[in-house]
Amino acid sequence: MSDLYRSAIHARLQKLPPMPPPEELEDGDEEEEEADTLGSLPSMSPPPLPKSGPGSASTKTSHLDVYKPISASDYFDQALEINVPSPQLNFRVYYTPPKAKDGTIVVCHHGAGYSALSFACFSKEVTRLSNGECGIFAFDARRHGVQAQLFGHSTFSMHHIAFTGKTVPTPECRTPDVDANLDILTLVNDCMSLLTTVFPDPAVSPSLLLVGHSLGGSVCVRTVPLLLERKYRVTGVTVLDVVEEFTLDALPHMHALLHTRPTGFGSVEEGIEWHVKTNAIRNLTSARISIPAILVPSTSGNPPWRWRTPLEGTAPYWINWFTSLSSLFLSCKTARLLVLAGTERLDRELMIGQMQGKFQLEVISGVGHMLHEDNPTRLAEILVEFWRRNERVIVGVKKVGET
């Protein structure tokens, strides 16, 4: 929930197995499917907005040039649409395969209100630091993701539909609001269904390392036991900047804090500028990639761009998202890593677990709640070291969290 989450706390504390074959394509669709990679995407600049008056466009052009959206083509190899029948959703996935068949896939789940592109810079660093042994699989959760205009609508035409560029209900779905439910168990089912669709056979699936930011961390720790139950190989689980007790205590402050942020922006560039100048995201490059994915054109036109996923509307699920997070994290039967921003304290359960050596704790200084955007290189260094320790484990040496 951006630095709103952190502000509320301080107020109290002062190569992948082949993808499942798509439905048979009509003539000409195969060429479009082959083009479905980020390398083929146009620039992510939004469609031009109508001028409000003479000279109005020129007054801010030079000022906002530094905040222009940039393409994610240098950060992921592919942009995919994956049809998952169970929740009747087409998932937007960004994917970079590992170079080796026995490589590990880092599965990234974003936080509330954000998108998979928040992991773009981090993903590139993981690929570099692991020498390509770690692949990246980042996806947009339901009711989240980038708007079609930012990627070029006609580029993505698969399964007989024009791809809308975000996780959306499938064309055959007869319930328009099938993706409205953001209950934690629904989000876990989405994650599990997506992974088992892409990796249907646990025996030949690559090892999986789950990484979740805030809400995404809660989804990941609940998904791990389900994967292990089906005999998938899970290298570890990483939770980014969320502690159950402090998060739940911060929730009463959230509405007041959300009211202090804009309802929208005059342009995507203004949205990027706001996030950078308020330190919601402290990395300009990452903001230029990720923020366009969380804004959509307004139906009313005032303001012209609004939030894709308004956080106020997710309030009924906040307690549901984070309750029991600490105990579930500690009970994961895999290596565990918790990465926090600054000097946040652990709650009692995590403090006891740390003293018992049940998980690895890392703190990154000089970052905010969006630590994977603020300092993607440092986080990638931590994660790759964690992966090497637990995936390339020496016989007789216990993994992190093993008793």
262 in a structural domain: yes
- Give the residue-averaged pLDDT of 78-103: 89
pLDDT computed for residue 15 by the predictor: 40
Residue-level pLDDT at 399:
57
Q: Please provide the DSSP assignment of 2-64 as one string.
A: HHHHHHHHHHHH--PPPPPPPPPPPTTHHHHHHT-SGGG----PPPPPPPSSTTHHHHHHHHH
Element (H, E) at 235: strand 234-240
Q: Answer with the residue of higher pLDDT: 172 or 376.
A: 376
Task: Give residue 392's pLDDT band: very low, low, confident or very high (50, 70, 90).
Answer: low
Q: What is the pLDDT of residue 60?
A: 55
**Residues classed as catalytic:** 214, 241, 369
Mean pLDDT, range 209-237, rounded to an integer: 98
Average pLDDT over residues 33-54: 38
In terms of pLDDT, which residue wins out, 170 or 386?
386
Residue 24, domain member (yes or no): no
Most confident of 24-38, 71-85, 167-181: 71-85
Q: Which positions ≥6 away from 135 have C-beta within 8 Å?
A: 15, 16, 95, 96, 97, 98, 103, 104, 105, 106, 127, 206
315 is a domain residue: yes
- Asked if residue 55 is part of any domain, the answer here is no
The answer to whether the Cα torsion of 181, 183, 184, 186 is positive or negative is negative
Amino acid code (one letter) for 210: L
Structure tokens at 150: 């930012």
Which CATH number fits the domain that encloses residue 323? 3.40.50.1820
Per-residue pLDDT reduced to its tens digit, 94-122:
999 999 888 999 999 999 999 999 999 99
Distance CA 122, CA 57 (A): 34
Q: Residue 319 is inside which H or E element, if any? A: helix 318-322
pLDDT tens-digit series, residues 321-341: 999 999 999 999 999 999 999
**Which SS3 state, helix, strand or coil, does residue 124 take?**
helix
Q: Are the CB atoms for 216 and 206 separated by under 8 Å?
A: no
Mean residue pLDDT of the chain comes to 81
Is residue 232 helix, strand or coil?
coil
* Structure confidence at residue 344 (pLDDT): 65
The answer to whether residue 53 scores a pLDDT higher than 50 is no
What is the band of 24 on the pLDDT scale with cuts at 50, 70, 90?
A: very low
Indicate the burial class of 344 (C-beta count within 10 angstroms; 0-12, 13-18, 19 or more).
middle
Long-range contacts of 201-206 (CB under 8 A, 24+ apart): 201/17, 202/230, 202/231, 202/232, 202/233, 203/231, 204/17, 205/17, 205/232, 205/233, 206/16, 206/17, 206/98, 206/101, 206/102, 206/103, 206/104, 206/105, 206/135, 206/233
At a CB cut-off of 8 Å and minimum separation 6, what does 35 contact? 155
pLDDT grade, residue 153 (50/70/90)? very low
> Lowest-confidence range among 53-62, 154-163, 258-267?
154-163
Answer whether 338's CB lies under 8 Å from 299's CB: no
pLDDT of residue 181: 82
Measured distance CA(202)–CA(272) in Å, rounded: 41
For residue 60, what are the contacts with CB-CB under 8 A and spacing of at least 6?
267, 269
The answer to whether residue 54 sits within a structural domain is no
pLDDT band at 144 (very low <50, low <70, confident <90, very high): confident
Residues of the chain with pLDDT > 70, as a percent, come to 73
27 is a domain residue: no
Asked if the structure places residue 23 within a domain, the reply is no
User: Phi and psi (nearest 5°) for 354?
Assistant: -65, -45
**What's the CA gap between 384 and 399, in Å, rounded?**
14
Q: What percent of the chain has pLDDT over 90?
A: 62
Q: What is the pLDDT of residues 6-17, one digit of tens each?
A: 555 444 444 444
Give the Cα separation of 148 and 170 in Å (integer): 16
Q: How many domains does the chain have?
A: 1
| Amino acid, single-letter form, for residue 233 | R
Asked whether residue 42 carries a pLDDT value surpassing 60, the answer given is: no
Phi-psi region of 30 (alpha: psi -120 to 50; beta: other; left: phi over 0): alpha
Which domain covers residue 14, as residue numbers? Answer: 2-18+32-46+60-391
**Does residue 314 or residue 163 have the better pLDDT?**
314
Across the chain, which distance is largest between two alpha carbons, in Å?
73
Let me know if residue 313 belongs to a domain: yes
Burial-class residue 64 by CB neighbours within 10 Å (0-12, 13-18, 19+).
middle
| Non-local CB neighbours of 313 within 8 Å, separated by 6+ positions | none
- Euclidean distance between CA atoms 265 and 277, whole angstroms: 14
Q: Please check the confidence at residue 33 and state whether its pLDDT lies above 70.
A: no
68 pLDDT above the threshold of 90 = yes
How is residue 333 annotated by DSSP? Answer: S
Q: Which pLDDT does position 56 carry in this prediction?
A: 47
**What is the distance between the alpha carbons of residues 80 and 197, in angstroms, rounded to a whole number?**
13
